[in-house]
Amino acid sequence: MRHIYIILVISLIHFYSASQLSKNVFLLDNWTTDTLAISQNGTKFNETWGFLHNGIEYGVIGSTEGTHIFELTNDDRLNPVAFVRGNFSSPQVVHRDYHDYKGYLYAVCDEGNSSLQIIDLSYLPDSVHVVVNDSVNFGRVHNIFIDSSSALLYACIFTPNMGNPTFSYTSIKVFSLADPLNPVEVFGGFQDIAEVHDAHVVNDTAYLNCGFDGLRIYNFANPSNPVLLGSLQIYQDQGYNHSGWLSPNRKTYYFVDETGGKRLKKVDVSDVSNPTITALFGSNFLNNSIAHNVMANANLIFVSYYNEGLRIFDTRFQPPREIAYYDTYPTQDSYKMNGAWGVYSLLPSKRILVSDIQNGLFLFHFDHHVFEAPPSKDIFRVYPNPSKHGEQVIFRFNERDITKIRFYLFDNLGKLVYTMESKEQDYWTLSLELAAGSYNYSVYYQNSLQQESLRQGHVVVMD
């Protein structure tokens, strides 16, 4: 009889907290520091971003003092490689934002005498260099987004610095990056929109999150004269339209209202002239929770949910179903916009970055391949079954409140050949290095009321 070898998903790191509330998300590393200036409400950090450079993944987090850049190592650590002090560095800083383009990191801030910083990444992992620090053409900017297909930078809530002769608040400005080190203004803002808090742009189609004015969709193929394609200015469960993300097939837009108790919106934009909300969903919204930022792939969306931490939803369910979470700020249950601020889920390795206002930068593992498999209504699934010798087999529950699992696998003579216990996940994966045959399993599982149930079945292994 050959041995069974479990493919470890990744164990929870115990140095952070043994009492973390988590499900199907595993902490790889957490970076924080006590050396930064702290605001009056105790916050130090803000946005996060990720990028790939020369085959190496990097993470970014903003703070009251500037920009911190980390190499994401092969052994899943956050290795600090650079710090860039902001043009405005102060406990007053609340907002920084980032986007990378053609080997440069673009950084803005929405407090004080700020600037656009363009950071040359070409010398990483040894160093970075600020090659542009423009506080004349730029000042305070709340959020940025770069549409790489058209080399346009969208600067949301744009306020020049005091003393600038063209000082005036603008809902959004757009700049050409035809020369990445010399942004040139090509659009100076709307007259009929008070503010554009954030933007998501793909191939010149801009989804603009306009605060209490809702959602506007524009075509910027001619950036000096954008054309309105559609809007959603009054809608169910409306709050402050904060941010959103377009699905890869460009048929669905997900957005967040940054208002206590408001749910996320799933919007059908297959006809951009008639955007239609098809689902409302969220985490603990009945207790006034607040979502903040969101990213999407084909089937899943990743949300930084303030006090609720990182939340992951499967969008193939109607409404989207929460399948995983990790609370980065477990010390507070009331909703005061503390905790998880930003999320980045687009790294090639599928590792996830989350920035927490108080607790710094988190690096997580989430088993995409398990949860991107076709969804099922079955309470418990084993697949593939039958399986081939050495093939990875997934055992997965499809229930929301499972808190503890004990798993036993027996050969056809009743001999125990493998056992496992888990508390923070509702699935596990095994590589069945077994002789061909049929094996019986027993799974004991508890719900949130500590009521235990039993499921039994068999797995067939083929040569």
* pLDDT tens digits, one per residue of 67-86: 999 999 999 999 999 999 99
Regarding the domain delimited by 19-371, which CATH topology (the fold level of the hierarchy) does it fall under?
A: Methylamine Dehydrogenase; Chain H (2.130.10)
- pLDDT over 90 percentage in the chain: 78
Per-residue pLDDT, 165: 60
Task: For 380-462, give the CATH class.
Answer: mainly beta
Q: Which pLDDT belongs to residue 333?
A: 66
Contact (Cβ atoms closer than 8 angstroms) between residue 325 and residue 308: yes
- Would you call 286 helix, strand, or coil by DSSP? helix
Task: Say whether pLDDT at 50 is over 70.
Answer: yes
> Which region among 21-25, 125-129, 222-226 has the lowest average model confidence (pLDDT)?
21-25
Quick one: 313 exposed, middle or buried, by C-beta within 10 A (0-12, 13-18, 19+)?
A: buried
Least confident interval from 2-6, 298-302, 328-332: 2-6
Q: Is the pLDDT of residue 397 over 90?
A: no
* Amino acid found at 457: G
pLDDT at 355 over 50: yes
Domains 19-371 and 380-462 share a fold: no
Determine the straight-line distance between the first and last CA of the chain, rounded to whole angstroms. Answer: 14
Alpha-carbon gap, residue 344 to 346, rounded angstroms? 6
449-463 residues labelled b (16+ CB within 10 A) or e (exposed): eeeeeeeeeebebee
DSSP state letter for 54: T
265-276 per-residue burial string, b: 16 or more CB within 10 A, e: under 16: bbbebeebeebe
Residue 204 has pLDDT above 90, yes or no: yes
pLDDT at 2 over 50: no
- Amino acid of residue 115: S
pLDDT tens readout for residues 302-346: 999 999 999 999 999 999 999 999 999 998 767 778 999 999 999
Q: What is the pLDDT of residues 417-462, one digit of tens each?
A: 999 898 888 888 888 788 889 999 999 998 777 888 999 999 999 9
2 CB burial (10 A radius; 0-12, 13-18, 19+) = exposed
Q: What is the pLDDT of residues 173-193, one digit of tens each?
A: 999 999 999 999 999 999 899
Note the pLDDT of residue 166: 64
Domain ranges, ordered by start, for the chain: 19-371, 380-462
Across residues 38-48, what is the average pLDDT? 90
Res. 65 pLDDT band, cuts 50 70 90: very high
* 269 φψ region: left (φ > 0), alpha (ψ -120 to 50), beta (else): alpha
Residue-wise pLDDT for 100-117, tens only, equals 999 999 999 999 999 999
pLDDT for the residue 329 = 93
